[in-house]
Structure 1
Amino acid sequence: MASQGQGDVKRDLVPVQALSKVVSSERVEGVRNRFQSAFGHSPQFFLRVPGRVNLIGEHIDYCGYAVLPMAIGYDVLIAGRSDPKEEDAEPTVRVINVNSTYPDFSGTLSQVKRALVEREEGKAPEWYLYVFCGLMGVVEELKREGNSRSLEICVDGRVPARAGLSSSSALVCAATLATLQANNITLSKNEIADLSARSERYIGTQGGGMDQAIAMLATAGSAQFIEFIPKLKASSVSLPKSAVFVVANSLAEANKAANDSYNYRVTECRFATWILAKKRGLKIDGMWKPLDLQLELKATLDELLGLVDKELHEEPYTVSELMKVLNVDESFLRENSTIKATFSSSSTFKLRQRIQHVYSEAGRVELFRSVCQEELGYPGVLRKLGKLMNMSHQSLRELYQCSHPQLDTLVHLAQDNSHGARLTGAGWGGCAVALLERAQLENFLAVLKSKYYEPVLGISDIQEHVFVTTPSQGASILEE
C-alpha cells in the first residue's frame, strides 16, 4: 500500500507474509476459484485477520480499562480486487462468501450506506453488513467517497460465528484492511484498529476496541495487555510454558448486534459513573467511562469499590431517580445513552452490580498480568491464574448477568477439571476458555464429551466445537 500524506514518519505497518506459509493451498484455491467463477477474473490481493480469545478482562474495554486477550488460529481470509470507477459513475461493491449459504451482495456505494441505515432492529444482521462497516469507515472517516474505487471481495471466514471469538470484528477489520489496500492507503496497525473499532458502530454495537486491537496488534507466542487510555497500546505478556488453553463452544448462540443487552450494559456503566461523580461533587460533563472517574479522583480500584458500596444501592435505579440525583431531564438521559431506541420512562438500571464488576475485573486483569510477569516458573502459577478466571466468571454471571444457563453448565464442568475457566467474549452464549496443563488435556476433553456434548447436545464428535489454542499472529497482507 502506498503512503498517503504521512511524510517520513515511521509507523508499525501490517506485515506482509508469504501466502503459502500462512494458508493451506487447498483453502487458497477454494477462495480463488470462487472469486474467478463469480467475477470472471483473478483477485489482486489476499489478506487475513484472526479471531481472538479473551483470557481475562470482559466488558471493561468500553469502560476504559486494559484487557488481556490473544489471537487464535481461526481467521477471516479475504481475496479482493479493485478497479477504477467509470467517469461520473458511482463506485460499486460486490461481496461474496465461499459458503454458499451466505447471500451475495452487489450494489453501489449509496446502496451500501442504505443497507446499514435501514437494517431491521432486533434481527441478526446479514453477514455482509460487517463488511460494509469496514468499507464505510474508510469511505466516510477518511473522506474517500469521491475517490473510492469499485471493490470485489470474496470472504472465507473460519472464526466460529456467535461464539464469543470475535468473528464479526475480525470481518470488520478484514474489510477495513481490504478497502485500504484497494485504495492504496497506508495506515499503521494502531490506526487501522482504531478505525475498525469506530466503524463497527455502524452496525449498532458500542464496543470498546479490544477485538479490533488484538486482531491487528497480536504477535505469535504471547498474549497482549491492551490499554486504551491515553492511547491504544499493546504489550506482550508471556504465558506459563506449561499452560494450555482450551476453547469450548457451548453452542448457545448470542448475537450482540441483534438486541440491546450489550449496549444496555454500556449505558449502565455510564450512568453509574455519573452518579458516583455527582456524589463526589464532580461535573459529569465529559465523564463517559468508569476509568474517567478513577483518573479524576486519583483513587485505587479498591477505593472505588468502597465508594460503590457506600454510594450505590442494590435495587435497580429508575429513570425518575436518575433524573433527581443527576439533576437532568429524561431527554438528556436518553440522548446520552447507547439505547436510544429502547429507552423509556419505565426503564431500570442495575448500576451498583455493573460497576462492581468493572472495577473488580480491572483489578483481576492487573493481577493476571503481574503473575505472568513475576511468577512464571514458580509452583502454583497456574492455580493462581485459574482462580482469577473463576472469579471473573462468577462476576460476569452474578453482577454483569451476561452468561447463559447452558454456558454456565459448560464452564462449571470445565472448572472442575482444570485450573480455571470462564466465559469469553460478550457472553449470553458462546464459548468458555479453560486453563490446564497438557497432562490434563486428554482427560479434560473426554469429560467435556461425556458430560456435556453427548448428554446435553447429542454430539459425539466434538472436534469442531473444542480446540486447543496458542497465541497467534495478528492481521497480515499475503503475497504469492
Structure 2
Amino acid sequence: MNDFQTVYGAAPEGAWAAPGRVNLIGEHTDYNDGFVLPIALPHHVRAEARRRDDGVLRLWSAQGDGEVVELRLDGLAPGAVAGWAKYPAAVVWTLRQAGHRVGGADLWFDSDVPTGAGLSSSAALECAVGVAYNDLYGLGLTAPELALLAQKAENDFVGVPCGVMDQMASMCCAEGSALLLDTRDLGQRQVPIDLAGAGLRLLVIDTRVKHDLADGAYAELRAGCERAAELLGLPALRDLPADGLDAALGRLPAELRPLVRHVVTEDGRVQQAIRLLDAGDLAGIGPILTAGHASLRDDYRVSCPETDLAADTAVAAGALGARMTGGGFGGSVIALVAAELLDTVAGAVAAAFADAGYAAPRAFAATPAAGARRL
C-alpha cells in the first residue's frame, strides 16, 4: 500500500485516528434534542497529515481510486466537491468559515470502518480531519467543539441534516464505556459496559445494503419531526412527556403520529437502558433493543427486509435482543448475545441471508473503544 511518503514525497507531521460507532439505543432522537447511547468501534479512520502554505488541500485514500484529489481552499464551497473527498474538504471549509486561520494540508487516509453500513464512516473521516487540523494549526478546540464543527460540515457542506450523535461519539467516547449524551445541552456521562464480565458479546451484522442519507429521506423524517413539534407548541419532541403522548397524537395529522410515537418511546428506551446498566444488568437491555427495532420498523419505517431478517433471525437463534443501528435504509444490525452463542447467531443470520438470496453479511464482535486521538 502507498504510504504518506510514497504519495507526497515527504514524511507526515503526525498521525491521528477517529472511530466509527454503533448506537446501542436512541435512534433518530439526536435531531429531536433527545438522548443517545453510542459506543465507539475499534474500527477507525487513520489520518496522516502535513501542513501546506500555498492554499492547496491534497487528499488521498487507501480506499479511493489511487489518485490524489487536489483542491484550492479558496475554491471550496458546498456542492463543489464530489465523492469521498467532500467530507474532509467540508471540515476544512467549516473551520475557515468559523474564522479559524487554517491553511492547506496533505492528508492521507486509511480506514477499516465499513462504508455505507450505518457505522458512521463519514463522521469518523470528518473527526479524523478535525483532530489533525486542531493539532497541526494549534486551534485548541475541545472534543465537543470539534464534534459540533464536524456536524456543521456535514449539514452545511455535504448537505445531510444529521444530528450530532455520530460526531460526538467519534470524538468523545471512552474505551470500555457507552456515551450517554443529552443532545440538547451536550451533557455527557461515560457508562461502563463490561461485556466480557457479563459473559456477553455485541455482535455487529453489516447487511451490506448500501444507503445514501443525502437522498432526501433523512431530511424528510427530520422535517416531519420538526413540524410535529411546532404543531404541538414544543421546542422539540424531546419535550413531549410519555404520559402526554396519546393526547398529543390526537392533535396531529395521521402521517406525523408514527414519527412522534417513535421519538418519545425511543427516548424512554434510552432511560430504561441506563437504569439497567447502572444496576449492573447488561443482559436486561436485550428486550429494549428488540423493542427499538420494532419501533424503527413499524413507526419510523427506516428498516428494510435485510435488516428485519438479520434482527429477527438473531433473536430466534438465541440473541437476547437485536435491532438495526444507524440512520436506516440498510446498514447494520446489532445483537446482544451470550458469548457461547456468538458463532451460532452469526451462522444463523448468514444462512438466512443465503436462503433469501441476499449477499453474505459481514459479522464481527464489537467492544467499546476510545474516541478520536493523536497516535
- The separation in 2 between residues aligned to 1:103 and 1:57, in whole angstroms, is 39
Q: Does 1:235 align with 2:182?
A: no
TM-score by length of 2: 0.94
C-alpha distance 228-42 of structure 1, shift in aligned 2 (>3 A) = same
C-alpha distance 401-35 of structure 1, shift in aligned 2 (>3 A) = same
Q: Is the CA contact 1:138–1:180 (under 8 Å) kept in the aligned structure 2?
A: no
- Describe the SS at the equivalent of 1:449: helix
- Structure 1 residue 84 displacement after superposition: 2.8
Q: Is the CA contact 2:127–2:167 (under 8 Å) kept in the aligned structure 1?
A: yes
The answer for the alignment partner of 1:186 in structure 2 is: 140
- Describe the SS at the equivalent of 2:329: coil
The answer for the alignment partner of 1:128 in structure 2 is: 85
- Describe the SS at the equivalent of 2:232: helix
2:272 counterpart (344, 348, 367):
367
2:335 counterpart (434, 441, 460):
434
- The separation in 1 between residues aligned to 2:5 and 2:14, in whole angstroms, is 13
Matches within 5 A, 1:206-221: 206-221=161-176
Q: Does 1:451 align with 2:348?
A: no
The answer for the alignment partner of 2:249 in structure 1 is: 309
Q: Does 1:163 align with 2:163?
A: no
Q: Which runs of 5+ in 1 are unaligned?
A: 1-29, 86-90, 120-124, 278-283, 295-300, 315-349
Q: Is the CA contact 1:223–1:239 (under 8 Å) kept in the aligned structure 2?
A: no
C-alpha distance 453-237 of structure 1, shift in aligned 2 (>3 A) = farther
- Structure 1 residue 375 displacement after superposition: 4.3
Q: Does 1:386 align with 2:350?
A: no
Q: Could you report, residue by residue, the CA deviation over 1:427-459 in whole angstroms, capped at 9, with x for unpaired residues?
A: 000100000110111211221222224753354
- The separation in 2 between residues aligned to 1:37 and 1:408, in whole angstroms, is 45
The answer for the alignment partner of 2:79 in structure 1 is: 117
Amino acid at match of 1:406: E
- The separation in 1 between residues aligned to 2:331 and 2:83, in whole angstroms, is 19
- The separation in 2 between residues aligned to 1:128 and 1:239, in whole angstroms, is 37
Q: Is the CA contact 1:72–1:471 (under 8 Å) kept in the aligned structure 2?
A: yes
Percent identity, aligned pairs only?
Answer: 26
TM-score by length of 1: 0.74
Paired residues in the alignment total: 371
Q: Is the CA contact 2:160–2:219 (under 8 Å) kept in the aligned structure 1?
A: yes
1:226 counterpart (181, 191, 197):
181
C-alpha distance 432-458 of structure 1, shift in aligned 2 (>3 A) = closer
State which drifts further: 45-54 or 434-443: 434-443
Q: Does 1:276 align with 2:232?
A: yes
Amino acid at match of 2:372: A
Q: Could you report, residue by residue, the CA deviation over 1:310-347 in whole angstroms, capped at 9, with x for unpaired residues?
A: 32242xxxxxxxxxxxxxxxxxxxxxxxxxxxxxxxxx
The answer for the alignment partner of 1:467 in structure 2 is: 364
- Structure 1 residue 83 displacement after superposition: 2.8
- Structure 1 residue 235 displacement after superposition: 3.0
Matches within 5 A, 1:246-261: 246-257=203-214, 259-261=215-217
- Structure 1 residue 358 displacement after superposition: 0.3
C-alpha distance 399-239 of structure 1, shift in aligned 2 (>3 A) = farther
- Structure 1 residue 207 displacement after superposition: 1.3
Q: Could you report, residue by residue, the CA deviation over 1:79-131 in whole angstroms, capped at 9, with x for unpaired residues?
A: 1000333xxxxx11000112343653102112232xx3346xxxxx5001011
1:44 counterpart (1, 5, 13):
13
- The separation in 2 between residues aligned to 1:129 and 1:453, in whole angstroms, is 36
- The separation in 2 between residues aligned to 1:167 and 1:454, in whole angstroms, is 29
Matches within 5 A, 1:18-33: 30=1, 33=2
The answer for the alignment partner of 2:301 in structure 1 is: 401
Amino acid at match of 1:45: G
- Describe the SS at the equivalent of 1:244: strand
- Structure 1 residue 184 displacement after superposition: 1.9
- Structure 1 residue 148 displacement after superposition: 2.5
- The separation in 2 between residues aligned to 1:152 and 1:385, in whole angstroms, is 44
1:290 counterpart (213, 219, 237):
237
The answer for the alignment partner of 2:374 in structure 1 is: 477
Amino acid at match of 1:306: D
Structure number, greater radius of gyration: 1
Q: Is the CA contact 2:173–2:190 (under 8 Å) kept in the aligned structure 1?
A: no
